[in-house]
Amino acid sequence: MLEEIGTTTEGDLIINVGPQHPATHGVLHLVITLNGETIKKVEPHLGYIHRSIEKMCESLTYRQFIYVTSRMDYLSAHINNHACALCVEKGMQVEVPERAQVIRVIMDELTRIASHELWWGAMAMDIGAFTPFFHAFREREKINEIMEETCGARLTMNYYVPGGLMADLHPDFQKKVKAFITLFKNKIDEYDELITGNIIFINRMKGVGFLSKEDAVSFGCTGPSGRGSGLSCDIRKLYPYAVYDKVQFDEILETDGDSLARYMVRIREMKQSIRIIEQLIDNIPEGDFQAKTKAVLKLPKGEFYTRVETARGELGVYIVSEGATTPYRIKFRSPGFSNLSALDTMARGGKLGDLVAMMGTLDLVIPDIDR
């Protein structure tokens, strides 16, 4: 009988959030043990969107497998591609032209802004405010237009190839990016007016979903979720790749460790991304956009690991090569999976309404967790 009505022997209610639920933004399944409105335990169940991308990559050549990774964290497709391209280039010991590196960084930062904007809208929607979602999408659309012109796609761009880029920039690229920067600088203040300063919003976020620095380290939280707890983990600063060591930007750290801290990290990070783009947009060097590579790529026998900072945290690509045209084994260290594992610790003792505020600030993209 107890099983039937879904309670534990202590009389706590067990409730299934997902796999079809508006707050999980995908097919995440959370089994929540509730005492009234208070959360006692959160148990994520994964696997609903598992496509075995890692296994698929083993049968794809080094040119092909990059495009599958656009489907992992679809909101930072460029950055995923970047990680894979870097790993192959490291193995091949290909020198990427300066022009391609600069363009890659600009594209990465544009992707980061687009991703954070979508997060901002979805975050506000989880909290119960619908309007910000549309405002965020208005600006995100501008980035998508820029991407569409240069890469030919809006979501899964497939623009990076080992050795550089697939095509050169669209002639209007610089003009459009500059126009976007001018527009976005005004809009980000509008975001603050709409949501950040709202008393209800601050009350919903402050002190909610606390994650200590120690817990952040032990769960492997990276990206804004880790930096909200004061953990310095920005790969762009710690292990610079492309031209990140040549541009000026700050690593955003907040020490409170609550949802508001993680929220503020992302908001401030968008401003830093703008700063990086501003430095680079007028200084794109002339030259080739792609290095000369062989038609068929073969990585030497060995193990290769590269990592990049995606919009959600550290993405690691680990390739084991046996010297063939396809990887022998491939493994992605995705940020979403580690960040999700901290949810239980964060949520215990909180209210059911807090859960969406926590999940929102973890910025989960389910295909990134399941792969």
Partner 1 sequence: MFNPTWAMTIEMVIAGVSVIGLFAALGLVLVLMERRVAAWMQIRLGPNRVGPKGMLQSLADTVKLLVKEGMTPDGSDKFLFNLAPYIAMMVAMLLMAPIAFAKDFRLWDMNIGVLYITAISSIMVISILMAGWASNNKYSLMGAMRSGAQIVSYELSAGLSILTIVVLTGSLNITDIINAQADGWWIFKGHIPVLISFVIFIIAVTAETNRAPFDLAEAESELTAGFHTEYSGMKFALFFLAEYINVFIVCAIGATLFLGGWMPFHIGNWEAFNHVMDYIPSSIWFFGKTFFLIFVIMWFRWTFPRLRIDQLLNLEWKYLLPISMFNLLLVTAIAILKWHF
Binding site for partner 1 (CB under 8 A): 6, 13, 15, 21-23, 37, 124-131, 133-135, 138, 194-195, 198, 200-201, 203-204, 351-356
Q: Is the CB of 128 or the CB of 152 nearer to partner 1?
A: 128
Residue 21: CB minimum distance to partner 1, A: 6
CA atoms within 13 A on the CB side of 38: 5
| Rg of the chain on CA atoms, in Å | 21
Q: Is the CB of 179 or the CB of 202 nearer to partner 1?
A: 202
Q: Is the CB of 15 or the CB of 167 nearer to partner 1?
A: 15
DSSP-derived secondary structure for 129-186: --HHHHHHHHHHHHHHHHHHHHHS-SSS---EETTEESSPPPTTHHHHHHHHHHHHHH
Task: Supply 73's token pair.
Answer: 């964290």
Q: Which residue in 314, 129, 301 sits closest to 239, CA to CA? A: 314
Residue 345: CB minimum distance to partner 1, A: 20
| Cα 166–chain centre separation | 23
Residue 361: CB minimum distance to partner 1, A: 13
Residue 260: CB minimum distance to partner 1, A: 13
Q: Is the CB of 188 or the CB of 195 nearer to partner 1?
A: 195
Q: Is the CB of 21 or the CB of 246 nearer to partner 1?
A: 21
Residue 329: CB minimum distance to partner 1, A: 39
* Integer CA distances (angstroms), 173 to 1, 109, 277, in order: 64, 14, 12
